[in-house]
Amino acid sequence: MKILKSSIILSLLIMVLYACSTEPEVDTVKPEIDLNISGAFPVNCDTLYFGEPYVIKAKLTDNVELGSYNIDIHNNFDHHAHTTEVLSCDDLEPIKETTNPYVFIEDFTIPEGRNEYTTNLDFTIPSTDNDGNEYQDGDYHFHINVTDKQGWSVQKGLSIKIKRR
């Protein structure tokens, strides 16, 4: 009889403790991209030059944990719009046909457990493709996208120019 009572009490205690356990909190906050830090690059309306080295610098933050970021550079020769900046660049070149535009799309991981990360990516825009053909200069878009561990993402879209000196 003592064993039965002890088993019932132990079972009830386990059920009470299990019922009181809290659910893990769900992250519902998007990460952030800060281009207002000292040395941030590029910023809206910057001009970059083929063959010159740059350091892409942006501060990425999240309330829980960051996951990865992506950089996408593509032409804006047709003046399509998806910039996220309030101020627009006033010096768009005339619309032109794309013959050999520069394109860069790459994903980057962020070290595990980080809720703040500043990119420090050495970057040079080549002046020619693998076949030796010159890339077109002109209006481009620079996008940086950050995703947190829960899958929330946010992007910054900047208008830039890529030129030859």
pLDDT digits (tens, 9 = 90+) for 68-105: 999 999 999 998 887 677 677 888 899 999 999 999 99
How far apart are the C-alpha atoms of 28 and 59, rounded to whole Å? 20
pLDDT digits (tens, 9 = 90+) for 95-109: 999 999 999 999 999
Mean pLDDT of 116-126: 97
Find, among 118, 46, 104, 42, the residue nearest to 71 by Cα.
Answer: 104
pTM confidence score: 0.82
pLDDT of residue 68: 98
Helix or strand (DSSP H, E) at 10 = helix 2-20
pLDDT of residue 146: 98
pLDDT > 70 in the chain, percent? 85
Tell me the three-class secondary structure of 34-102, residue by residue: ECCCCCCECCCCCEEECCCEEEEECEEECCCCEEEEEEEEEECCCCCCCCCCCCCCCCCCCCCCCCCEC
Residue type, 30: K
Residue type, 93: E
Find, among 144, 137, 157, 140, the residue nearest to 49 by Cα.
Answer: 137
**Level-2 CATH architecture, domain 27-163:** Sandwich (2.60)
